[in-house]
Structure 1
């Protein structure tokens, strides 16, 4: 696939404090890539450097072959985490104003705006002022504004913020459709379940540096060890003595057994003692949410090979 965005060796410091260091990744056409990390990890600095809001001390940002200072802004859509709509402006006027800033034909923008307002459940809200909208409705309007000009690259910073579960699903499907139509998407979110559902690849930052990068499948295979959940009356000390167990978390009669990376699941299950009390048993890989929490809290449970990620 064609590379739309290329970030190489990005570095930025404020008052001698290194915020990001040697950040490098690519986003390809039709791909949804997540940039993840705990608060303060350097995600916003990276995104603002890509957008030209900040100037990095080191590294390069290229859109196709255009360097940061020459990137055609009408080719990029941006939904910032901070909301920036004018409260006393009507919805349609706001969207058309954003389209005009991108030199997009107004007639075509109005047609697209009506299409998306209907699609996102805002039909009939064209003449309503932004300040009359709920937080979720305003988020939808700002999302429309970020895609109204048909950008080749779309950067979404916490796009699901303020949305109810139904609206989150609508956004999720729309983001997928945009990628299928060829838009390259860079998405930052703390909602790991959404990231896991829609993203093709992820790039995780901790303390300004890369800690995990790869396709969702590769990351799950590399970092997401298996866990077994058993409902039954068992002592934690008994479960901890089972083979290939890294740790056990128990609440009442439910125990979650975290397994070592090299475990062969069918063999491990066959070797469970017959004396165990098992009312229910399920086994799956740890979630992206658990990987994120592990990194954010420096628990060092997630391993790459025999070494901790940190």
Structure 2
């Protein structure tokens, strides 16, 4: 089976349930070799969108492209998919059912076993292969579900809340596995409510609210580019910053000040920062001059309000 990675493009994707429009003309791209975070509150339309990409739900309007052509069922079979509802058999042994699922997805028995055992070892479950799924903790059940999505050497990955319930070590292991796939050119789309994790891992974000795309871009782009606000900590009182040109002083508290650079270009703002630092040294010294990076949660609240 051909598992050549391709860009996934969603154009005008819409899903209606009777009179209710759950997803309304959604457009975005999941590029090859990049991790795309799909962010939105409960009911935003993330799961419905993923199901349409995978052919689980019928598309009311719009289309999904695999490269430069409409996606086919054969293409969808090459995608590692982790659905919202976990599809594991609780009373079956972990390795046995994963090997069986791998064969259903087109792997030989030998290749399926090799892939399953390698992934379970990587995910910290090498000693639990003969345990039943129901005997595992919820976090470990999640790891088994992740293995089910990854074991077919996927051409793309569509993962619905893959980090839910994982401890920090498991999150790191999962992140390393996903980076290995993107390094081979695999496009990855995953949803998550953990904005700090999305910020750390993703090359780009798609923010969804009430079934529509509210913002797309890299974390830096969504924050408005390079930080304009900076924190200054001087050795002495920092009240002198109020007299500087190219700076709006937002707050001064003794030696600490919060500055907003007013220049239109990055070069201009760097020049102003140099002048701030030079003036601070003349006024007795500066111990800190650092950018204030707004958290992704702040950006999210602004674009979904």
TM-score by length of 1: 0.78
Paired position in structure 2 for 1:131? 134
* Maintained 8 Å contact 1:172/1:194: no
Moved over 4 A (4+): 229-232, 239-248, 253-263, 268-275, 278-281
- State the distance in 2 between where 1:40 and 1:224 align: 32
- Residue 65 (structure 1) shift: 5.5
Secondary structure in 2 matching 1:167: helix
Unpaired stretches in structure 1, ≥5 consecutive residues: 233-238, 299-310
One of 102, 115, 118 as aligned partner of 1:115: 118
Conserved 8 A contact 1:12-1:58: yes
Larger CA Rg, structure 1 vs 2: 2
User: How far has the Cα of 1:198 moved from its partner?
Assistant: 2.2
Q: 1:81 aligns with which of 81, 84, 108?
A: 84
Change (3 A) 1:265 1:113: same
One of 228, 241, 247 as aligned partner of 2:230: 228
Rounded Cα–Cα distance in structure 2 between residues aligned with 1:223 and 1:88: 51
Do the aligned partners of 1:62 and 1:71 also contact (CA within 8 Å) in 2?
A: no
**CA offset at residue 177 of structure 1?**
0.6
Question: How far apart are residue 64 of structure 1 and its match?
Answer: 3.8
Q: TM-score scaled to structure 2, two decimals?
A: 0.79
Measure the CA separation in 2 of the matches of 1:125 and 1:246: 58
Q: In 1, distance between residues paired with 2:249 and 2:94?
A: 54
Per mean C-alpha deviation after superposition, the further-off stretch among 19-28 and 102-111 is 19-28
Cα shift at 1:22: 2.1
Aligned pair count? 294
CA shift for structure 1 position 214: 2.5
Residue 155 (structure 2) aligns with:
152
Cα distance, 1:115–1:227 mapped onto 2, change above 3 Å: same
Tell me the C-alpha RMSD between the 2 structures. 3.6
Residue 109 of structure 2 corresponds to which residue in structure 1? Answer: 106
Q: Secondary structure at the match of 2:126?
A: coil
Q: Which residue is 2:59 aligned to?
A: 56
The answer on whether the counterparts of 2:78 and 2:156 sit within 8 Å (CA) in structure 1 is: yes
SS, match of residue 145 in structure 2:
helix
Gaps of at least 5 residues in structure 2 are 235-240
Which residue matches 1:267?
A: 272
2:175 corresponding residue in structure 1 = 172
Q: 1:241 offset after TM fit, Å?
A: 11
Partner of 2:237: none
Distance 1:86 1:149, change over 3 A: same
